[in-house]
């Protein structure tokens, strides 16, 4: 199941990257730098300031982990075709020995490894999932949802600035959460179902406004 989910996510990541730039593999984008910056944002949501009271915002922490996963998948896709990469990632994750520990220290180690190698520290990322209590199935559901939303935004004018995130008084990610809750994430065409549901909701909202 994990390998199938990995292959599906890698294929989706390839699609969204190609939508943004059809020659993305040849562009040498600094995916590792994006991971580094997202890691800093993640730590802010988790909290690190000793001079003030902070409570971890775990939903935001998980959202940032999903964003990091997008960039990590992009780095992994540089190594080969999605099916081959999925098999290698599944084997590496299956062999990982991770136990809950100090999230901040593990995040720093993950970031340092990313900067040093300019590659994706897959085992380090798996450790962060364990530390936050985020299962691989939850990662899959959250990733597919965010990927579908990103693709939907691109298809509806995100790059030229014509896309509006608020529909009928709510942000698009709120509509996404509501719609995804009513679908079966284990379905083989889950991402397509979610995209169609978003498109239908978006059309209804814009028709009502018109």
pLDDT in tens, 104-161: 999 999 999 999 999 999 999 999 999 999 999 999 999 999 888 888 988 888 878 8
125 closest CA partner among 50, 195, 65, 49: 65
Report whether 90 contacts 65 (CB < 8 A). no
CB count, 10 Å around CB of 71?
22
Among 97, 132, 167, residue at a domain's last position: 132
| Co-location of 47 and 73 in the same domain | yes
| Co-location of 115 and 171 in the same domain | no
Which residues form the domain of 208? 148-210
Mean pLDDT for the chain overall: 90
| Co-location of 126 and 188 in the same domain | no
What one-character-per-residue DSSP string does 45-75 give? HH---TTS-----HHHHHHHHHHHHHHHHHH
CATH number at residue 114: 1.10.4010.10
| Co-location of 110 and 16 in the same domain | yes
Q: Which pLDDT belongs to residue 208?
A: 59
Q: Distance between the two ends of the chain, CA-based, in angstroms?
A: 44
Partners of 166 in the β-ladder = 171
pLDDT in tens, 31-74: 999 999 999 999 999 998 989 888 888 888 998 999 999 999 99
Note whether residue 162 is domain-resident: yes
141 closest CA partner among 38, 205, 69: 69
| Co-location of 16 and 86 in the same domain | yes
Token pair recorded at residue 171: 């942000």
Among 132, 161, 182, residue at a domain's last position: 132
Query: At 189, is the secondary structure helix, strand, or coil?
Result: coil
Mean pLDDT of 190-197: 90
Q: Which pLDDT belongs to residue 158?
A: 83
| Co-location of 97 and 10 in the same domain | yes
pTM given for the model: 0.84
Helical spans, DSSP H, in 47-158:
58-77, 82-95, 103-117, 122-132, 136-155
How many structural domains are present in the chain? Answer: 2
């Amino acid at each position: 199941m994990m390998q199938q989910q990995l292959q599906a996510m890698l294929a989706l990541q390839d699609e969204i990257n190609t939508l943004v730039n059809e020659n993305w593999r040849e562009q040498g984008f600094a995916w590792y730098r994006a991971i580094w910056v997202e890691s800093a944002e993640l730590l802010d949501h988790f909290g690190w300031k000793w001079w003030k009271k902070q409570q971890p915002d775990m939903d935001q922490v998980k959202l940032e982990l999903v964003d990091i996963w997008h960039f990590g998948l992009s780095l992994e896709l540089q190594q080969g075709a999605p099916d081959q990469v999925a098999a290698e990632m599944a084997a590496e994750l299956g062999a990982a020995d991770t136990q809950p520990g100090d999230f901040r220290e593990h995040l720093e180690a993950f970031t340092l490894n990313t900067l040093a190698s300019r590659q994706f520290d897959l085992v380090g990322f798996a450790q962060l999932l364990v530390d936050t209590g985020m299962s691989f199935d939850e990662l899959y559901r959250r990733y597919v949802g965010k990927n579908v939303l990103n693709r939907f935004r691109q298809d509806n004018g995100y790059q030229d600035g014509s896309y509006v995130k608020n529909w009928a008084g709510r942000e698009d990610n709120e509509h996404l959460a509501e719609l995804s809750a009513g679908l079966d994430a284990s379905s083989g065409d889950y991402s397509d179902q979610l995209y169609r549901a978003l498109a239908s909701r978006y059309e209804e909202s814009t028709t009502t406004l018109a």
